[in-house]
Every structure is written in structure tokens, then in C-alpha cells.
Amino acid sequence: MTSCRRRLGRWLLPEKMAAVDIDMPVETDSQIRSQDDLERQAEIFKEQGNAYYSKKDYSAAFNYYTKAIDASPKNASYYGNRAATLMMLCRFREALEDSQQAVRLDDGFMKGHLREGKCHLSLGNAMAAARCFQRVLELEPSNKEAQQEKKNATTLLEYERMADFSFEKRDFRKVVYCMDRAIALAPTCQRFKILKAECLALLGRYPEAQSVASDILRMDATNADALYVRGLCLYYEDCIDKAVQFFVQALRMAPDHEKARLACRNAKALKAKKEEGNHVFKNCSYDAAYQLYTEALAIDPNNIKTNAKLYCNRATAGAKLKKFDQAIEDCTNAIKLDDTYIKAYLRRAQCYMDTELYEEAVRDYEKVYQTEKTSEHKQLLKNAQMELKKSKRKDYYKVLGVGKNATEDEIKKAYRKRALMHHPDRHSSATPEVQKEEEKKFKEVGEAFTILSDPKKKMRYDSGHDLEDDGCFDGGDFDANNIFRAFFGGRGGGFSFDSSPDSQPGNFFFQFG
């Protein structure tokens, strides 16, 4: 029995092995018929897709091409058709995947290579596009569409090269020009749109830059480049806190985003320096404020609006320190950065007033009043115009060498000194030219004293009236010698001058009769 079992086991073992050897999938007649049915069904789906494509109902066409692919996933033309539909729907990344799958299944599928190249071109991948079009020309050398598209790819590469070079040279207008033409060839390339938006921001064209970035963020809210550009626009519009939020968000999406990191650091540093400068200015530490504003200006030369404010702030500190020329220069720099900055015009106009440059002051106040017609600005302009009018007359205060707030005693002392200095008798031995000049000065000193020593005339003079037009010196009523004699004692007293060549100013003595 045992041996029989053993013999039986020997015979049974090969039978089991044979059963294992033939355990393989075999296409039965029913399976073959089923596969044929699927392919026939796939063709029906494809034809339905073609019909909808012809009607420009691309969404329906997409659905039927997808059904065709599901039924027959190894048919290159189905992927090619669906790629064409996706291109019409502007879904170029998905179209690129289908085109690539189509040429993987059939490397001789010319339309597949052509569509892959067009997708690459639209997405801004010019070199990859050129390779695809070259493959089309290898398959069909006379293909005019491939020839033209290859030229477009070459043109796109040239615009990219020009844009990179121009960006390094900080010629942002040229970059925008190149990107506009590149986008016309590659309308779905976000990289080109971001570069254009960044350069628009750097040119101060913030609404345009914001618009481009917002369009991208509507399609992809996590796009770090678009978030960076949004932050950059806010930063350059002096909305620093909001800008920092966008930079932080961009860094959250792309921790290695170097531009966002640098902009975030600059924004925080700029805000800190500006606020510190404002704080010490309020505490009347004008030297410290001036220095802090100077340091802030060095942080980012591209931040036009903030730097305009910093220049104006430094001008205010400079004016407090009596650095009027520097203050005027700072205001001018602020206006160059932002020619609508009213504060800078007002500050510069005040500096011009302080330095008696009245024509320049009037020009700035006119600009301000044309922009903002307020009663305050109208009065400032009126005051400047009055000072300009007054500056064109004889300045009797300068003639006497006193300030505009001089007291009656100070005016008398000044007259005494100047009248004795320029009296004709004192220069009797001088040349005729010197005598004539000194006589003229002597008369001017007398005029000045006549006006400034009379409260009513002084008031009219200070208010801008032209006293010569009022007849104050009309006819022969004015005589500088009479004023001199009246001032120095009238008829009963006199004095003589030492007119020798070695005489010095003030060498005179009185003779009493």
C-alpha cells in the first residue's frame, strides 16, 4: 500500500505542476469580441467628440474624448484629440500631458508633436517647443505651420534674452516691452506675466502691476510670485504693514523665495528707521532725526513714495537746523520722485521764503494752489506775492543794516552810524566817482530813516505799498541834509569830518557854536 501511494504520489506530482504551468490569462473568443466592442465604442465616442468639437462645444467634446480614452487607452489619436480640445479650453498644462502621452504611444504621430510644441510655446517653454517643431519637420519637412511656430519659438527666446539683460541693467521699461511681446506668443506663461508685473511695480505703475498679479491669484491663490508682486506694490505705495503680510504669505508658500525675503527685510527696516526718526523729531532732537532719515534713505532706492516722504522729513529737520540750502535740495529730490507731493512743495516754498527767494516761493505756492484751492494755500500765495513785490523796492531795512523787527532806538542808532559814514563832507577829498556813490548812499540812508522813523509810513511800507507812487518823495520836499541836520542838533550845532587820506570811518568831531 505504501509503495502504491508513493508510486501514485510520483505520478500525481507532475500533474499538479502541469496545472500550474498552464495557469495563464488566455483571450477567449468572448474576451476578443469584448475588446473589439470596446474599440468600436471608443470610435463612436471619438466621432461624437468630433461632432461637438466642430460645434465648438469643447466641454462636451472633452467628455466624449475622455470616454474614448477610457475605452481604448492605447490609441494615440484619442489623446491628440483631447489635447486639441484642452488647448481650445486654454488648459495648456493638461493639453501638454495628453500630447506627450500621444507621442509616447506613437512617435510618428505628427499632430501630437505639433500640439506638444504649441503647448510648450504657450507656456513659455521656448526651447522645448523648438525641439517639438523640429521633430514635426523631420516627419514632414514641408509643414509650414511647424516652420512658422519654430520661428516663433526662436523669437520668444530672443525676447527672453533681451528681458534678462535689460532687467540686470534696471531698464524696466524695456523689460515690459519685451514681456508684452513674449506674452503675445506665450499667453499662458505666468513667469512672463510675473516679470512684467514686477517691472511695472518698479516703474511705479502700481494699478497695472496689481491687476496682473490679481489675475494670476484668481487662478492660483498660492502662487508665491504673484503674492510677492502684490506685496511689492503695497510696499512701494507706502502701505508697509500690508506689504509685509503678503511677503510673509509668499514665503509660507515658497520658503526659498529670495526676493520676498529681501523685500520683507527692507520693509521692516524702513518702517523702523522712519518711525524712529519721527519719534526723535517730535522730541526736538533734530540732528538725530536728520541722521535717521538719512539712514532710512539708504535702505531701498527703489521705494519712490516712501523715499519722497523721507526726503521731505529730512528737509523739515534741516530747516529746523537752519540748513536751508540742504532742505531745498531735499524737497527738490522729493518732488522728482513724486511730483504730486504737496507737502514737499509747501516745505520748499517756506525755505525759499526763509532765504528771501520770493520768486521761487511764489512759483511753488502757485503750483500748490492750482492743485488744492484752499483758503490757506491762497493766503500763503498772497503773502509770497506781497514779499516778492516788497523785495523789488528799495529795502530800507538793508540800507540801515537792521532787521525787519528793529525797534525805534535801533533804527535811530543805525541811521546815526550810516549817515555819518556816507556824509558827502567826509568824502570831499575822494575821487569824483567815490563822491557820487557816497552821496547816493547818503540820500538812501536819509530816505530809509524818513520812512522807518515815521510809524504811519513804516506801516504802509511794511504792508507792501510803493511809497514813491504814494508821493512820499515827490518834488523837492525830501532833502537828506535837512534830515541830517535835524537829527544831529538842528541849527545850533555842527561837526566836522577829518577828510585826510588816513581817515577811518567815524573820524569826525562836533563843533558847538
pLDDT of residue 458: 87
The pLDDT tens digits of the residues spanning 102-134 come to: 999 999 999 999 999 999 999 999 999 999 999
| More confidently predicted of 238 and 132 | 132
Q: How does strand 493-497 pair with strand 508-512?
A: antiparallel
pLDDT of residue 447: 87
Is pLDDT of 22 > 60? no
Cα(395)–Cα(455) distance, integer angstroms: 17
Could you please report the per-residue DSSP string of 24-36? S----HHHHHHHH
CB atoms within 10 A of CB 77: 17
The pLDDT tens digits of the residues spanning 83-95 come to: 999 999 999 999 9
> Where residue 63 falls among pLDDT bands split at 50, 70, 90?
very high
* Residue among 481, 483, 496 at smallest CA distance from 426: 496
Enumerate residues 6+ apart whose C-beta is below 8 A from 249. 227, 231
Task: Rounding to the nearest 10 degrees, give the CA dihedral for residues 359, 365, 366, 370.
Answer: 170
pLDDT of residue 513: 32
Q: What average pLDDT score do residues 174-197 get?
A: 96
| More confidently predicted of 328 and 430 | 328
Q: What average pLDDT score do residues 64-81 get?
A: 95
Q: What average pLDDT score do residues 389-395 get?
A: 83
* Residue among 161, 169, 222, 219 at smallest CA distance from 199: 169
**Percent of the chain whose predicted confidence (pLDDT) is above 90:** 66
Greatest alpha-carbon span in the chain: 180
Residue type for position 128: A
| More confidently predicted of 509 and 54 | 54
- CB-based contact 119:97 (threshold 8 Å): no
Q: What average pLDDT score do residues 403-426 get?
A: 89
Cα(259)–Cα(256) distance, integer angstroms: 9
> Where residue 12 falls among pLDDT bands split at 50, 70, 90?
very low
- CB-based contact 250:198 (threshold 8 Å): no
Is pLDDT of 490 > 70? no
Is pLDDT of 155 > 90? yes
pLDDT of residue 37: 85
The SS3 of residue 401 is: coil
Helices (H) and strands (E) in the chain, counts: 25, 2
The pLDDT tens digits of the residues spanning 335-388 come to: 999 999 999 999 999 999 999 999 999 999 999 999 999 999 999 999 999 889
pLDDT of residue 189: 95
Least confident range from 1-15, 66-80, 278-292, 379-393: namely: 1-15
Cα(245)–Cα(227) distance, integer angstroms: 10
> Where residue 14 falls among pLDDT bands split at 50, 70, 90?
very low
Cα(81)–Cα(46) distance, integer angstroms: 8
Is pLDDT of 153 > 50? yes
Position of cell 480614452? 69
Average pLDDT, the chain: 87
Is pLDDT of 178 > 60? yes
- CB-based contact 143:110 (threshold 8 Å): yes
Cα(388)–Cα(366) distance, integer angstroms: 13
* Residue among 318, 235, 247 at smallest CA distance from 271: 235
pLDDT of residue 482: 77
- pTM score, two decimals? 0.65
Cα(33)–Cα(16) distance, integer angstroms: 32
* Residue among 472, 463, 467, 454 at smallest CA distance from 408: 454
**Percent of the chain whose predicted confidence (pLDDT) is above 70:** 86
- CB-based contact 296:264 (threshold 8 Å): no
Task: Rounding to the nearest 10 degrees, give the CA dihedral for residues 483, 485, 488, 491.
Answer: -140
pLDDT of residue 340: 94
Range list of H helices, 55-122: 58-71, 76-88, 92-105, 110-122
Cα(279)–Cα(343) distance, integer angstroms: 19
The SS3 of residue 340 is: coil
* Residue among 318, 321, 266, 326 at smallest CA distance from 296: 266
User: What structural domains and CATH numbers belong to the chain?
Assistant: 38-160 (1.25.40.10), 270-392 (1.25.40.10), 396-464 (1.10.287.110)
